[in-house]
Amino acid sequence: MKVSVDRDLCYGSGECAFRVPSVFTVRDGFGAVLPGRVGTGGDPEVREAAEKCPSQAIMVTGSGGLRPGEAGGGSQSGSVEGGAE
């Protein structure tokens, strides 16, 4: 499963980076996924961060991922690696 941050929804609380600093960071005022960590969506801590994101900007996609409305959604993914996953 993949994890991404929708920059259109993120308002930069940093909650994701606080909860899972090994996966998330804050870059240019928005949450972002660290390089090489996009495939960590199956990690329970990452899924919890998605569920607890105050702006619901974290999207977990793939088999068993969170569906739109559960957490995240939108069109523009943010990762330090750049671009949509």
Rounded mean pLDDT, 26-35:
97
Per 3-state DSSP, the chain is made up of helix, strand and coil in percentages (nearest 5) of 15, 25, 60
Q: Is residue 74 pLDDT above 50, yes or no?
A: no
pLDDT category, 82, cuts 50, 70, 90? very low
d(CA 71, CA 53): 8
Q: Return the percentage of the chain with pLDDT > 70, whole number.
A: 74
